[in-house]
Amino acid sequence: MTSTPLPVAVLGAAGRMGREACRAVEDAADLELVASIGRGDDLEAVAEAGAQVVVDLTVPSAAKGNVLWAIEHGMHAVVGTTGWDEQSLGEVRSALAGAPGLGVLIAPNFAIGAVLAMRFAEIAARYYESAEIVELHHPAKVDAPSGTARHTAGAIARGRAAAGLGPVPDATEQDPDGARGAVVDGIHVHAVRLRGLVAHEEVLFGGTGEQFTLRHDSFDRVSFMPGVLLGIREVSRHPGLTVGLDGYMDLG
């Protein structure tokens, strides 16, 4: 028995991620790409095309408005665009409260290995006195630190709190130029922007006489597509807001 393909719209379709996502949806037999939207295109085309899932791969300034629009029009949303803050997430939660049955996935990283690295980081964090994150990306990335690094820092902070660990040791007294990086949830995060890179992250753990490093590399945007497709296929089964693809994976 064959079932009707799920109608999907991609916003940001002309971008690097959007182009890849359009290809991945077109290549999937159980999905149908019904709308490809770029900057300046009318979102009404998405509703007219009958999309049930909207994939947002645009820019931080547009993503929230797109998601609220999708909810208002009864569509699930799968979001890869980064740069979300608590206030914007709260607005999405409020909108979803009035739309039972609709799901929104906001995934700071669709690469399965990066999701695993975040989970492993939370586990490792319990056992090491020191932890720092280095995220490395292409120079066209507009936000820093990366959404993945923020979420990894949050995971490390949770792991440390569960183990009763205090602040990471750091005797720095003077740092007028910010050489110690940003501090997210108590964890130092360093952002590198380098031509030739795509998306990479290193999580460094230090204990007396020991270092443990977790590293994930996305060499090509195609690495994000299994996660994007998983999100599209699963979003209707997860009503409400889910932040992080791990919410759709059975990681124990």
Question: Which positions lie near ligand NAP, rule CB under 6 A?
Answer: 11-12, 14-18, 37-39, 57-60, 62, 80-82, 107-110, 141, 199, 224
- Please give the Cα distance from 150 to 201 (Å, whole number): 11
Is 108 annotated as belonging to a binding site? Answer: yes
Answer yes or no: are the C-beta atoms of 54 and 77 closer than 8 Å. Answer: yes
Say whether 76 is catalytic.
Answer: no
Is 12 annotated as belonging to a binding site? Answer: yes
Residue with tokens 């740069």: 83
Between 109 and 152, name the residue whose CB sits nearer to ligand NAP: 109
Answer yes or no: are the C-beta atoms of 89 and 81 closer than 8 Å. Answer: no
- Please give the Cα distance from 207 to 250 (Å, whole number): 30
We find the least distance from the C-beta atom of residue 106 to ligand NAP, in angstroms, to be 9
Residue with tokens 């120079």: 139
We find the least distance from the C-beta atom of residue 12 to ligand NAP, in angstroms, to be 3
Between 80 and 103, name the residue whose CB sits nearer to ligand NAP: 80
We find the least distance from the C-beta atom of residue 80 to ligand NAP, in angstroms, to be 3
Is 207 annotated as belonging to a binding site? Answer: no
Between 99 and 245, name the residue whose CB sits nearer to ligand NAP: 245
**Nearest residue to 81 (alpha-carbon basis) of 143, 174, 169:** 143
We find the least distance from the C-beta atom of residue 233 to ligand NAP, in angstroms, to be 16
Between 181 and 244, name the residue whose CB sits nearer to ligand NAP: 244
Is 14 annotated as belonging to a binding site? Answer: yes
Residue nearest ligand NAP, Cβ-based: 15
What DSSP character marks residue 143? Answer: S
Question: What are 11's strand-pairing partners?
Answer: 37, 56
- Please give the Cα distance from 99 to 104 (Å, whole number): 11
HSE-up of 23 (CA within 13 Å, CB side)? 13
Say whether 141 is catalytic.
Answer: yes
Catalytic site residue from 137, 151, 190, 216: 137
Q: What angle do CA 182, 188, 190 make, to 5 degrees?
A: 65
The pair of structure tokens assigned to 64 is: 């929230």
We find the least distance from the C-beta atom of residue 89 to ligand NAP, in angstroms, to be 15
**Nearest residue to 83 (alpha-carbon basis) of 63, 111, 104:** 63
Between 38 and 207, name the residue whose CB sits nearer to ligand NAP: 38
Answer yes or no: are the C-beta atoms of 125 and 205 closer than 8 Å. Answer: yes
Is 17 annotated as belonging to a binding site? Answer: yes
Is 81 annotated as belonging to a binding site? Answer: yes
Binding residues: 12-17, 80-82, 107-110, 138, 147-148
Active centre residues (catalytic): 137, 141
Residue ranges of the binding site for (S)-2,3,4,5-tetrahydrodipicolinate? 138, 147-148
